[in-house]
């Protein structure tokens, strides 16, 4: 490792603020626009914007598309199944978060 690499600090952009275009999202997920469009048509991801040229995607879409790709590749899940799995997983996440916020300190010690 070169010494200058350690001192250099990289400043990135937060995705929430600089939303991704369809092309950028496809590149980030290494997938085709057709497939992302079918995810939108299935209601699995809901980007801001009217048509595919104006669509803007955020962090949550990035996570969902990558998750969808893995579900399809690893488990052979079809589009409807992907939608169902992602929604159930999101609900599970929400419940876990709520549970975590309500868990008492006394229970944690026990």
Partner 1 sequence: MEYKDYYKIMALSREASQDEVKRAYRKLARKYHPDVSKETDAEAKFKELGEAYEVLKDPEKRAAYNELGTNWKSGQDFKPPPNWDEGFEFKGGGFTGGDAGDYSDFFEQLFGRAEFQSTHAGERHGAHPRGQDSHAKIHIDLEDSYHGATRTISLSTPEMTAQGQVQVKHRSLNVKIPKGIKPGQHIKLAGQGNPSMGNGLAGDLFLEIALNTHPLYRVAESDVYLDLPVTPWEAALGAKIIVPTPEGSVDLKIPANSKQGSKLRLTGRGLPTKIPGDFYIILQIVLPPADTEQAKAVYQHMQKTLDFNPRQSMGGLIP
Taking CB under 8 A as the criterion, the residue among 3, 34, 51, 105 binding partner 1 is 105
Q: Which of residues 35-94 bind partner 1 (CB under 8 A)?
A: 59-60, 62-63, 66-67, 70-71, 73-76, 85, 89
Query: Are 77 and 71 within 8 A, CB to CB?
Result: yes
Number of residues that bind partner 1 (CB under 8 A): 42
Rounded CA gap, 13 and 17, in Å? 8
Handedness of CA 10, 54, 56, 45 (dihedral sign): negative
Token pair of 102 as six digits: 């309500």
Helix (H) or strand (E) segment spanning residue 22: helix 22-29
CB of 57 to partner 1, least distance (A): 11
**Of 12 and 50, CB closest to partner 1:** 12
The DSSP call for residue 65 is H
Task: Give the span between the Cα atoms of 107 and 98, in whole angstroms.
Answer: 15
Determine, following the binding rule CB under 8 A, whether residue 110 of this chain makes contact with partner 1: no
Identified binder of partner 1 from the candidate list 13, 43, 50, 53, rule CB under 8 A: 13
Residue numbers at the binding site for partner 1 (CB under 8 A): 1, 5-18, 27-30, 59-60, 62-63, 66-67, 70-71, 73-76, 85, 89, 96-98, 100-101, 103-106
């Amino acid at each position: 490792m070169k010494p200058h690499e350690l001192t250099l600090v990289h400043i990135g952009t937060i995705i929430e603020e600089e939303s991704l275009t369809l092309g950028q999202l496809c590149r980030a997920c290494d997938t085709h626009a057709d497939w992302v469009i079918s995810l939108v048509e299935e209601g699995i991801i809901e980007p801001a914007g009217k048509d595919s040229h104006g669509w803007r995607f955020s962090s949550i879409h990035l996570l969902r598309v990558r998750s969808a790709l893995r579900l399809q590749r690893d488990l052979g899940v079809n589009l409807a199944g992907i939608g169902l799995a992602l929604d159930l997983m999101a609900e599970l996440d929400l419940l876990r978060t709520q549970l975590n916020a309500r868990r008492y300190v006394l229970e944690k010690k026990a």
